[in-house]
Chain A
């Protein structure tokens, strides 16, 4: 039976290879994620371990080590040297420059020194310092130069006294390199004498304890024996670990961040694998259908059902193992290449030269890949057992994958879809009513359930959608009608192929819709916080912004409009002070990002932000009296404002404070994403010499948006893998159709279909399958994206529902182009079919 399985695999090499690529990509994704996670962990570990240089053991634990603890450690038999891990911060001043730098004491044993001396030597006594090469360059220091450590020392006996500035003049005796990144996380370290380090630490109020002690052993000492003795001689709960052990534990305690990162990426890999499973299931279904006659023949000559099922599963296992191994190699290769590139780019972190292959890194992708493949082949294997021996005797018709689906599936998918969407709606409602955490939980669960329901039920409705789209297309000519009819011949296969794409597209559309909504909502929130793109605020004694500054700002290229504003101080009748800004509403309308900012601003009105309203004890609609700095009064009606400060009109301000000058400029820019304008404004203002401050909301807005955009790009990139796999599925389905329809293609050629139109026929089939999957995926994704945004962003205030039209268009075009591309190779095969083949009789 195995020989037969292998023979059948050889006959279907092409099919299997295409399915294998899907699994290969999925496992490569998993392997690369695990390996990259490993590299990250190792880089962190190495950086921590590097600090301990060549020490044999590191004493650590919850308790710090006092100097006498270190002495006790030194006294242990077999210990050659021991040194507490300490560091102190110094401010090195040379000329007019100051560099803040960590400094460590010169090690008592060379085994404790992770640094390399570039020039000179390590300090041998007080008053000497060795500095990192880059610090020496920044401060312009050479060997023998003087540099001061500037410290502020408090007199503990006199708490009222100011700190006293102390300058320790130090001689540079060496420059250092940190080849292992031992101090990379602290921005490098200078080395000073142990005495100096101790003195400075003491003066800063340091009690002289250390979190860890490095231990170097005698050459002939046994690590395990000394370890036991050390623990006995140390404070309770102390640990004695090798530097690697210590680093692993420290890194794990420190972050856990890398692991979260790895899990998140693995979730994306899981999506890719689910899509790959669909492609595999599809391929095997067709393989079984193609082999119906062979299978029936086997049944007729005595093979039992179990043997047939086993044959299919064996085939899947072989395919799974081979593709997963290939995926592992590809994944490892990618990470290795990335590592080489990163090392070449010199990121300032010492990266390992090669990836570390651990059993987990090998086993997890291979097992997962194989498992997914075998799992995906279960349904086809069952189909194989249903082939009756009689079918060997029937004439060979075009193989048909089973169509239609069970009632159980219909009910299950309906329950999941309806229930899931109900839960999702509930989540949104919860989120909108102020409990976004519970809402999100319900929303994610509901979204996931409803999506599973939609995918399960796709076989019921997706072919109908294809039919409707096809009927619209069919008006364009007979080729389109043929394409539609062909696509609907195998509803289940079309559904599976289209669904594979739908999954990826839904997720991509969801993320980009969510991001677009987040961007718009954030933007709205930012509009409230920063009503204008750039503000120029007077910073002098009276805060006036003189006319020449106004002119200078107006002249900056990229500045659209400049509106002067005045900051006032006014008191309410109860003595509460307000600091409203006064602008001309008409002028201001031209510069504010959101018209809400100045909505309702008119003479006689004071716009007060919601928070301020309560503090000042004001109610919307009431009339209150403001008293200006010189005693003038003004009656105003209180209205609710949306900006961060209270607002008045310039007219009213004049009544309140006739002498007030312009203290603030509201500036709008031509292009809100152009952050260079702020720098240009700053330069223009600096030239005028007036003390003013420039605040660029536009910079913050752009930064915020770039965070959202970057995250979106990463997520979409990761999901893109799933889309690529799905497109392989489209190509696979098309080429299967071509093989099955060989005679039919030949007939069409014989009755007058040109090669070009035959290729076009397949292209239309590909685009129909891909296009429908993409359109439905986009629709679903937009709904999910909105639901997610409504739930999660409701805290920000009003959520705007945005459709990322550009992204939607890109996804659609990519799907159609890919559907087209997927048809190229199958189309060439079909077009090569000679019309003579139509005459052939099996």
Chain B
């Protein structure tokens, strides 16, 4: 369903930087998004004018070496942090410029999160953790949807367990269910396999992919693991605060190749990309 193929990127061409939209409006967009830490000489441009679109119903990975700005990009897109300049949109809503209350509501109703360290509430059962966002919103839980999630994620037997009684992979699956329970426009996953062994990691990634394919969700995942990124429909490469490449239908090999290209082209000294290549 996605026909985009990998090609070298020309950063000077705005059409390239904006990515290639598929059918329908993009779920998430960034326009000239900038984030600067510090001022004057000490200023660090974590994001230096990023334009990117993320299509609905796709599983997109954002990849880049440490310090490339991939996490900052996610924070800004999700409204977790404030931008220095530019615009970010979730659906038709501009996230940049929203007040805290509106941002809270946006996160509650239209955005889901999956964290590296799961972040389940230890005193609640798996089921209570999953339904918490809906309850916070003061709505009733859609039991049909909950059943679908539980079935898809294989959590049936674990619903009454507390996080401490679950394995890391199971905890992360509970976290995915929690992120999807409110049927959000988009789910942001931040290194979701970072705390898992490779088998649990693979399991979680295939669940994420199934969520996109079978439940028509939109997921944006930040990772520095090429194997993880290969589960996505598309990989957006980022380096030095700019979009540096775009890989459609990635494989671990094509992702590694893209990263290598980044290293040789963008970072001749290559000192910061060791983590990205390690996997």
The chain A residues found within 8 Å of chain B, CB to CB, are: 398, 477-479, 481-482, 485-486, 488-489, 743-744, 746-755, 757, 834-836, 838-839, 841-842
Q: Is the CB–CB distance between A836 and B80 below 8 Å? A: yes
Question: Cα distance A751–B181 when bound, in Å?
Answer: 11
Least CB distance from A187 to B in Å reads 71
**Bound CA–CA A376/B190 (angstroms):** 44
Q: Which of B45-53, B135-143, B238-246 contacts A (4 or more CB under 8 A)?
A: B135-143
Query: B136: which of A398, A746, A753 is its contact (CB, 8 Å)?
Result: A753
Give complex CA distance A841, B224 in Å. Answer: 15
B108 interface residue per 8 A CB criterion? yes
A755–B195 CA distance with the chains assembled, in angstroms: 29
Given A479, A753, A834, which contacts B104 in the complex, CB threshold below 8 Å? A753
Query: Who on chain B is nearest to A746 by CB?
Result: B119
Residues of B within 8 A of A749 (CB): 104, 107
> How near does chain A come to B67, taking the closest CB pair, in angstroms?
15
Task: Report if A838-B138 is in contact (Cβ < 8 Å); known contacts: A751-B178, A754-B100.
Answer: no
When distances are taken between beta carbons in the complex, the residues of chain B under 8 Å from A753 are 104, 108, 136
Residues from chain B with a CB closer than 8 A to the CB of A746 are: 119
CB distance from B277 to the nearest CB of A (A): 21
Chain B residues with Cβ below 8 Å from A754 are 100-101, 104-105
Q: Is A486 touching B123 in the complex (CB atoms < 8 A)?
A: yes
| Residues on the A chain within 8 Å of B182, using CB | 752
A392 to B115, CA, bound (A): 24
* Cα separation A1 to B250 with both chains bound (whole Å): 55
User: How many angstroms between the C-alpha atoms of A753 and B108 in the bound complex?
Assistant: 7
Check: B194 CB closer than 8 A to any chain A CB: yes
Ranked nearest first, the 3 interchain pairs of A and B with the lowest CB-CB distance are A752-B108, A478-B135, A485-B123
In the complex, B81 has a CB within 8 A of chain A? yes
In the complex, are the beta carbons of A751 and B108 less than 8 A apart? Answer: yes
User: Bound complex: CA of A750 vs CA of B103, how far in Å?
Assistant: 9
**How far does the alpha carbon of A836 sit from the alpha carbon of B100 in the complex, in Å?**
13
Nearest B-chain residue to A489, judged by Cβ: B123
Contacts of B117 in A (CB 8 A): 743, 841-842
Q: Please determine whether A755 and B107 come into contact, CB atoms closer than 8 angstroms.
A: no
Contact yes or no, A834 B135, CB < 8 A: no
Known: A478-B132, A485-B123, A834-B81. A839 touches B108 (CB 8 A): no
B270 within 8 A of A: no
The residues of B that contact A482 with a CB separation of less than 8 Å are: 121
Q: In the complex, what's the smallest C-beta–C-beta distance from A546 to chain B, in angstroms?
A: 78
A839, B116: Cβ atoms under 8 Å?
A: yes
CB distance from B248 to the nearest CB of A (A): 27
Does any Cβ of A come within 8 Å of B145's Cβ? no
Q: Name the residue of chain B whose CB is nearest to the CB of A755.
A: B100
Decide if B89 is an interface residue (CB 8 Å cutoff): no
18 A-B pairs (CB sep. < 8 Å): A477-B135, A478-B132, A488-B123, A489-B122, A743-B117, A748-B136, A752-B107, A752-B136, A752-B182, A754-B105, A755-B100, A755-B104, A834-B81, A835-B107, A839-B75, A841-B116, A841-B194, A842-B117
Query: Which residues of A have CB within 8 Å of B201?
Result: none
- A751 and B123 in contact, given A838-B115, A839-B71, A841-B117 (Cβ under 8 angstroms): no
Q: CB within 8 A of A743: which of B81, B100, B119?
A: B119
Q: How far is the CA of A752 from the CA of B121 in the complex (A)?
A: 14
Whether B113 is near chain A, meaning CB under 8 Å from some CB there, is: yes
- Asked if B69 is at the interface (CB within 8 A of a chain A CB), the reply is no
Interface assignment of B37: CB less than 8 Å from any CB of chain A: no
Among B108, B121, B195, chain A packs the most CB atoms within 10 A around the CB of B121
Which B residues lie within 8 Å of A757 (CB)? Answer: 136
Bitwise, B14-43 to A at CB < 8 A (1) or not (0) is 000000000000000000000000000000
Residues in B whose Cβ lies below 8 Å from that of A747: 113, 115, 119, 121
Q: A488-B123, A744-B121 are in contact. List 19 more A-B contacts (CB 8 A).
A: A477-B138, A478-B132, A482-B121, A485-B121, A489-B122, A747-B119, A749-B104, A750-B80, A750-B113, A751-B107, A752-B105, A752-B108, A752-B109, A752-B182, A755-B101, A755-B104, A835-B107, A838-B113, A839-B115
List B residues 90-142 near A (Cβ within 8 Å): 100-101, 104-105, 107-109, 112-113, 115-117, 119, 121-124, 132-133, 135-138
B40 to chain A, nearest CB (A): 24
List the B side residues contacting A489 at CB < 8 Å: 122-123
Bound Cα distance A744, B121 (Å)? 7
CA distance A477 to B101 in the complex (A): 19
**Chain A: which residue is nearest B104 at the CB level?**
A754
Docked-complex contact B119 and A752, CB < 8 angstroms: no
Measured between beta carbons, the chain B residues less than 8 angstroms from A751 are 107-108, 112-113, 132-133, 136, 178-179
Say how far B146's CB is from chain A's closest CB, in angstroms: 16
* Min CB–CB distance B275 → chain A (angstroms): 14
State which residues 235-279 of B face A: CB under 8 Å.
none
Tell me how far the C-beta of B109 lies from the nearest C-beta in chain A, rounded to whole angstroms: 7
Chain A residues with Cβ below 8 Å from B109 are 752
B80, B101, B119, B179: the one contacting A744 at CB < 8 Å is B119
Find chain B residues with CB under 8 A from A485 CB.
Answer: 121, 123-124
Give complex CA distance A245, B119 in Å: 73
Q: Check A398–B115 contact: CB distance below 8 A.
A: no
- In the docked arrangement, what's the CA distance between A650 and B95, Å? 92
Q: Which residue of A lies closest to B195 (CB)?
A: A841
Cα A485 to Cα B132 with chains together (Å): 13
A757 vs B179: C-alpha distance when bound (angstroms): 20
> What is the CA–CA distance of A839 and B188 in the complex, to the nearest angstrom?
11
Residues of B within 8 A of A398 (CB): 122
Q: How far is the CA of A273 from the CA of B266 in the complex (A)?
A: 67
B164 smallest CB distance to A (angstroms): 9
How far, in whole Å, are A841 and B71 apart by their CA atoms in the complex? 13
State A482–B136 Cα separation when bound (angstroms). Answer: 10
- Nearest B residue (CB) for A482: B121
Q: Which residues on the A side are within 8 Å of B115 (C-beta)?
A: 747, 750, 838-839
Contacts of A748 in B (CB 8 A): 121, 136
- Contact residue among B75, B116, B124, B137 (Cβ-Cβ distance under 8 Å from A752): B137
Contact B80 A835 (CB under 8 A): yes
Contacts of A479 in B (CB 8 A): 136
Provide the residues of chain B in CB contact with A481, threshold 8 Å.
135
In the bound assembly, the distance between CA atoms of A18 and B254 in angstroms comes to: 58
Taking CB atoms, residues of chain A closer than 8 Å to B71 are: 839
Closest to A487 in B: B123
Q: How far is the CA of A736 from the CA of B179 in the complex (A)?
A: 29
User: How far is it, in angstroms, between the C-alpha of A744 and the C-alpha of B195 when the chains are bound?
Assistant: 17
Q: Which residues of chain A come closer than 8 Å to B122, judged between CB atoms?
A: 398, 489
Q: Bound state CA distance, A392 and B195, in angstroms? A: 18
Instruction: Give bound CA distance, A838 to B136, whole Å.
Output: 18
Q: What distance in Å separates the Cβ of A707 from its nearest Cβ neighbour in chain B?
A: 52
Cα separation A430 to B41 with both chains bound (whole Å): 86
Q: How far is the CB of A436 from chain B (nearest CB, A)?
A: 51
Q: Tell me the minimal C-beta distance from A195 to chain B in angstroms.
A: 93
Chain A residues closer than 8 Å to B81, beta-carbon distance = 834, 836
B133 to A752, Cβ gap below 8 A? Answer: yes
**Distance between Cα atoms of A835 and B81 in the complex (Å):** 8
B144-184: CB near A (< 8 Å → 1, else 0) gives 00000000000000000000000000000000001100100
Nearest CB on B from A482, distance (A):
8
| Cα distance, A749 to B109, chains bound together (Å) | 13
Tell me the smallest distance from the CB of A739 to a CB of chain B, in Å.
Answer: 16
A478 B119 Cβ-Cβ under 8 A = no
The minimal Cβ–Cβ distance linking B97 to chain A, given in whole angstroms, is 17
Residues in A with CB closer than 8 Å to B178 are 751
The residue in chain A whose Cβ has the minimal distance to the Cβ of B102 is A754
Q: Nearest Cβ distance between residue A617 and chain B, in whole angstroms?
A: 78
A836 and B133 contacting across the interface, CB-CB below 8 Å: no
User: A138 vs B81: C-alpha distance in the bound complex, in angstroms?
Assistant: 82
Question: Shortest beta-carbon distance, A132 to chain B, in Å?
Answer: 74
Tell me, rounded to whole Å, the shortest Cβ–Cβ distance linking B35 to chain A. 12
B123/A752 in contact, CB under 8 A: no
| A479 (CB) vs chain B CBs: closest residue | B136
In the complex, which residues of chain A have a beta carbon less than 8 angstroms from the beta carbon of B138?
A: 477
> Min CB distance, A743 to chain B, in Å?
6
Query: In whole angstroms, what is the CA distance A838 to B178 when docked?
Result: 15
* A838 smallest CB distance to B (angstroms): 5
